């Protein structure tokens, strides 16, 4: 038997579920990308605003502190200008300035030649007879105005910044300056103000001067280093405050907020790695994804239940459409409940088709000629049934049957005996096949059986039952005969009916070539 594999077909419910899965998957992917983009952009915008506000608040607070420092220095400079020669006044004022505010690590007073003539604390290793030419002292004497130095190494081997105020006498003669120092690598005014805020959302804060030198940094090794040139640095030098995104010197993508300390021309920078923000975003996205997934599972469950409600009656009617030749089909169609409009329309159309089919069958039974010898349909009747099957798109099998060595029967016993064999075979065919199967004599000892809406296994089993029964039946005094059978299918073997009939004949001849008395 040639095996015929029926191609799997998607039913309506499968199509609905497939469409739902595709739609939900597309929506899920789109939602995931949209949420990912939106959440990260919103977090970046918020973080930029927070860093800008954070640096601005620190700058404002620091500016206020430095304005107080400069005010105290100006007061001391004015007081010392009235009696600069008084050693007691110089010593008391440096001690007062250091002790009263606590803003400086040390305070000293230098004359216009660069001698440090007074200092506090007095434990400092300073020689009052020596002329000091360090960067801060030289620049203070040279500028003769309020001066805040860049970081430099002092004579005591400390990295410092000095804030100096010039001293003038009543006649406006320059006498020297009074200065406070900030030890950048020790606990100091700036570090105390900024370190308390350090760690805000895993950011870090640093301060640089107008010469791009770092004044304060959580990593003390960075203090005194030059900030590398970049577009971000240019922006910070040109604008008073703001926020932007940049790649820092360590190659870390960061969000930056900055603000100037107006009184000292320093810049407070608050910097936050973007990876930390994205970790927050990913956590949010995972939670949202879980929520969306659970919701989509619920939607899929609802659609699954509804698809069954929608597809079940249509599925039943579709199966019945291929069984219109069965006598009880109208009763089965009537059992379908028309739950919605399309089902009702399909049901009515199918009922009408069944009635037309039955009327056509009755007409065929009355109009077509039968073979007078066997009582089976002749080739004309067979063709009418085939045309109706094709018009109704009803799948059917073609069984080509031929009596083995029938010529020998006619030659040995005569044509009358041969006719008896043909009649007995016709009776066996009617007995072993269903009422709705079409048995035909196509000519001579050749027969055709049409089986509608039958699967290959059922067709093959029916053919074998007939073949076996014929082989066991005594043909009067002629003994027994055998038959060979060939099978083909419409439309699975071919869409062309003539081609299907030829294929059935080819299968029949294949059976004869393989020894006869078999089914192929």
Residues annotated as catalytic (active site), given as ranges: 445
Could you give the angle at the alpha carbon of 346 between the alpha carbons of 342 and 352, nearest 5°?
A: 150
Determine the Cα angle at 318 with ends 313 and 323, to 5°: 120
For residue 47, which of 283, 261, 286, 253 has the smallest C-alpha distance? 253
Six-digit token pair at 373?
């010898």
Tokens matching residue 300: 């899929």
The C-alpha angle 136, 137, 139, rounded to 5 degrees, equals: 65
* Cα 316 to Cα 303, 338, 514, distances in angstroms: 20, 12, 43
CA-nearest of 237, 203, 208 to 225 is: 208
Contact 428, 473 (CB under 8 A): yes
Which residue, among 304, 314, 297, 316, has the nearest Cα to 19 in the 3D structure? 304
Q: Provide the token pair at 130.
A: 């020596």
Cβ–Cβ < 8 Å for 204, 218:
yes
The DSSP call for residue 453 is S
Is residue 310 within 8 Å of 12, Cβ to Cβ?
yes
Give φ, ψ of 249 to 5 degrees: -65, -20
The number of beta carbons lying within 10 Å of the beta carbon of residue 164 is 28
Question: 121: closest CA among 137, 140, 104, 138?
Answer: 104
Among 174, 276, 273, 185, CA closest to 222:
185
State the Cα–Cα distance between residues 364 and 325, nearest whole angstrom.
Answer: 13
According to DSSP, residue 112 is labeled T
Maximum Cα–Cα distance for the chain, whole Å? 162
**Cβ contact 121:182 at 8 Å:** no
Chain mean position to CA 499: 51
Q: How far is residue 440's CA from residue 146's CA, in Å, rounded to a whole number?
A: 123
Phi, psi of 480 (to 5 degrees): -115, 160
Radius of gyration, alpha carbons of the chain: 53
- Token pair recorded at residue 166: 């010039």
């Amino acid at each position: 038997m040639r095996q015929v594999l029926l191609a799997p077909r998607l039913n309506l419910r499968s199509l609905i579920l497939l469409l739902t899965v595709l739609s939900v998957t597309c929506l899920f992917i789109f939602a995931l990308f949209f949420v990912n983009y939106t959440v990260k952009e919103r977090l970046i915008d918020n973080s930029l605003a927070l860093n800008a506000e954070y640096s601005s608040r620190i700058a404002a607070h620091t500016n206020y502190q430095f304005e107080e420092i400069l005010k105290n220095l100006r007061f001391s400079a004015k007081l010392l200008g009235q009696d600069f020669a008084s050693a007691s006044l110089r010593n008391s004022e440096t001690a007062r300035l250091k002790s009263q505010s606590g803003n400086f690590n040390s305070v000293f007073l230098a004359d216009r030649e660069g001698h440090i003539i007074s200092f506090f604390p007095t434990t400092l290793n300073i020689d009052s007879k020596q002329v000091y030419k360090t960067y801060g002292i030289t620049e203070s004497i040279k500028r003769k105005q309020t001066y805040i130095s860049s970081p430099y190494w002092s004579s005591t081997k400390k990295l410092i910044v000095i804030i100096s105020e010039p001293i003038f006498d009543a006649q406006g003669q320059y006498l020297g300056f009074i200065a406070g120092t900030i030890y950048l690598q020790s606990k100091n005014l700036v570090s105390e103000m900024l370190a308390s805020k350090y760690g805000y959302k895993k950011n870090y804060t640093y301060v640089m001067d107008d010469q791009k030198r770092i004044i304060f940094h959580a990593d003390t090794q960075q203090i005194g280093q030059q900030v590398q040139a970049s577009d971000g640095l240019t922006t910070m030098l040109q604008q008073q405050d703001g926020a932007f995104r940049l790649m820092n010197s360590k190659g870390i993508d960061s969000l930056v907020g900055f603000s100037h300390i107006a009184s000292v021309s320093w810049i407070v920078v608050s910097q936050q790695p973007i990876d930390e923000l994205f970790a927050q975003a990913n956590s949010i996205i995972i939670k949202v994804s879980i929520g969306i997934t659970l919701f989509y599972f619920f939607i899929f469950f609802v659609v699954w239940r509804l698809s069954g409600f929608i597809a079940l009656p249509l599925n039943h009617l579709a199966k019945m459409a291929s069984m219109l030749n069965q006598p009880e089909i109208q009763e089965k169609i009537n059992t379908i409940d028309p739950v919605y409009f399309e089902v009702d329309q399909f049901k009515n159309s199918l009922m009408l088709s069944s009635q037309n089919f039955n009327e056509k069958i009755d007409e065929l039974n009355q109009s077509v000629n039968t073979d007078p010898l066997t009582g089976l349909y002749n080739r004309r009747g067979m063709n009418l049934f085939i045309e109706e099957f094709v018009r109704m798109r009803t799948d059917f099998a073609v069984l080509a049957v031929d009596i083995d060595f029938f010529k020998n029967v006619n030659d040995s016993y005569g044509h009358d005996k041969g006719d008896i064999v043909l009649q007995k075979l016709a009776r066996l065919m009617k007995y072993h096949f269903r009422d709705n199967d079409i048995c035909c004599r196509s000519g001579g000892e050749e027969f055709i059986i049409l089986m509608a809406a039958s699967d290959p296994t059922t067709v093959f089993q029916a053919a074998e039952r007939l073949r076996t029964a014929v082989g066991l039946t005594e043909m009067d005094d002629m003994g027994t005969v055998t038959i060979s059978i060939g099978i083909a299918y419409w439309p699975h073997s071919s869409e062309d009916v003539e081609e299907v009939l030829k294929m059935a004949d080819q299968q029949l001849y294949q059976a004869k070539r393989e020894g006869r008395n078999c089914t192929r």
